Structure 1
Amino acid sequence: MQALLNSGQVARCDLYTIRLPSFAEYRYTNADVAISAGGRNFVHDGPEIHGARMRQSRGLDPDEQRLTVLVKPEHTIGGVSWLTALRSGALDEAEVVIEKAFLADWGAPAHALEWFRGTVQEASGDDLAIQLAVESDSARFGQMLPRELFGPGCVRDLFDAGCGVNKAAYRVDAAVTGGNRARIHTTLNRPAEWFSRGYLVFTSGPNSGVRRSVVRSEAVNGALEFSMPLVFDPRPGDAFMAWPGCDKTAETCGAKYNNRPRFKATPYVPVPETVL
């Protein structure tokens, strides 16, 4: 890239990568031609994305991008229109990566420099323009510390580095067989409460890309009850990925996940109201 910049003949453009919670990934560029960078292809005939701005500063101050996505009826994301994805919540918590591309000539392989990465915190708009408020990953440094507190429940989060349970090994692919927006019947065949406190992500149908937390799961009909109703009615055959949950007790850690050595809690510490 240094040699390319020193040549004085450099073409530039922006590259956008959008990753939905369903792991589906979409790549766009504001160039007039398709761009190839690092083995990745960015299409030029997708939605137009405007509003990206570049800011450089020292420190860990969080940054925010206010992006406007201009869409046409033929543009889809996650198998549905952008407006459907917006209304269903499929764009919530989607990851956005913005890169600067440098290339010797249009059509030549590009060198990409990442300069922003963040998560969609707010999405609004209509069938012509979608507005995305994207907060940079550095905002995570604003979390209150210390995170580990004395308590009867495990301080680790299921599938995180401290927990160590392999997330991919517990993923279950299934489909809807019936139900409504708040409760669905599925092809799941796990014991009752297996998916309670877990979540699922739809991968097809009008709710494609939508993530919902599961407050209760049943063995009969593979029923799942959501913490928040879906925006669109689920249809028989709609596919989804599901992960189980954890109540952070030692019994669940050992019996369900065979992970008792990593259980980290202080169940015998008296509650604050205890009189000594």
Structure 2
Amino acid sequence: MRTLPTALSDHLAGDATTICHCWRVTRRDGIVLGFTEHDHDLAFDGIDFLAASGFRAADSEETNGLSVEAGEVSGGLSSAAISEADVIAGRYDGAKVEVFQVNWQAPQEQHVLLRVQEIGEVVRADGAFRAELRRLTHRLDQVQGRIYGRRCDAVLGDGRCGVDLTNPVYRGSGAIVAVLSETHARVSGLDAALAGFYRQGMCRFTGGANAGHAGDIEDHRVDGDGVTLSLWLPPPLPLAIGDTFTLTAGCDQNFAVCGAKFSNVLNFRGFPHLPGSDFAFGYADGDTVHDGRPLYE
């Protein structure tokens, strides 16, 4: 049950109200911003809630239980509030949003927290944005714990994996010499690396319009025309000749690759000897030997 401040409760019980919504956005990098749909800036709890942001909420429906309904918030891209560069860079993805109902005549004394949500998908077009607000129960759809599988479920270089990605053996750098598409480019500086070495690795741009952005590598090919890198998704801004980058080797979570490429089989976090579906759906017969030996050597 939500308890309203006495002054706000009395105000809502009156014949006329001066109510608006405010949003407190806490990004994952720790930056806190405030926005309101009112036509003047408001302030409470030490936060300034900006009216110039153009924030406005779409109609939404509240339900009980653990359903994962979502709402929306939209507004204009303004350098004074939300910049297009920050939206493109994903700085608002996963941000916490606290929605308040406020009496704009007395915001410090008369406000109440309505709900806490997270920003999901952000769509931008024509100088404006539209952000999905997800209820926190959406986290219940995420996998908790571990799932048995043949492939490793660790992230290359994390504490469970143990591979030292600062080792120069697993890193490379270069520059774009030709742009083939929004995700494909010919690059220099990687001639010593075998084809596929950086596949499923990470590319971090160190120079050019995308400096600071990191993206996943789809493929790393070597042919008669040189070295080609392919990204899974296009970077925020178009690739350009001269853009520089650093690469980190990739891993496909395969037991054989873990040993041959990283010499790390002792830390392999999968179950490579797990029987496949052909065994699970099999049955005992006179031609199969069942003497307790390992299924896989």
TM-score (norm 1): 0.60
Q: Does the aligned pair in 2 maintain the 1:29–1:42 contact within 8 Å?
A: yes
Of 234, 239, 243, which aligns to 2:239? Answer: 234
Could you list the per-position Cα deviations for residues 45-101 of structure 1 after superposition, in whole angstroms to 9, with x for gaps in the alignment? 33423227473623x211211222234698763537x7xx4xxxx569922422135
Q: How does 1:130-169 map to 2 (within 5 A)?
A: 130-142=129-141, 148-151=147-150, 153-158=151-156, 163=160
Could you say what secondary structure the match of 2:99 adopts?
A: strand
In structure 2, the CA distance between the partners of 1:12 and 1:239, relative to structure 1 (3 Å rule), is: farther
Aligned ranges 1:1-276 → 2 under 5 Å: 5-6=5-6, 13-17=21-25, 19=27, 27-30=33-36, 32-33=40-41, 35=43, 37=45, 43-51=50-58, 53=60, 55=62, 57-58=64-65, 60-71=66-77, 77=83, 79=85, 85=88, 94-101=93-100, 113=113, 115-121=115-121, 123=123, 126-142=125-141, 148-151=147-150, 153-158=151-156, 163=160, 177-180=176-179, 181-184=182-185, 185=187, 193=196, 195-200=198-203, 212-217=215-220, 224-229=229-234, 233-236=238-241, 244-250=249-255, 253=258, 260-274=265-279, 276=288
Show structure 1 runs of 5+ residues with no match: none
C-alpha change, 1:15 and 1:182, in structure 2 (3 Å) is: same
**2-structure distance, mates of 1:27, 1:198:** 34
Kindly state the Cα deviation for residue 14 of structure 1 after the two structures are TM-superposed. 1.6
Give a deviation string over 1:2-32, Cα, whole Å, max 9, x none: 9993465999742242758xx6967341152
TM-score, with structure 2 as normaliser: 0.57
Asked if the contact 1:4/1:103 (under 8 Å) is kept, the reply is no
Change beyond 3 A, Cα 1:247–1:133: same
Amino acid at match of 2:116: F
Checking the alignment, whether the CA contact within 8 Å between 2:157 and 2:165 is kept in structure 1 is: no
Q: Distance in 1 between matches of 2:110 and 2:165?
A: 33
Considering only aligned residues, what root-mean-square deviation do their CA atoms show, in Å? 5.6
Equivalenced residues, count: 261
Is 1:200–1:243's contact at 8 Å kept on the other side of the alignment?
yes
Deviations 1:120-152 (A, max 9, x none): 33626x41543333444423433579961342x
In structure 2, the CA distance between the partners of 1:167 and 1:107, relative to structure 1 (3 Å rule), is: farther
Structure exhibiting the larger radius of gyration computed from Cα positions: 2
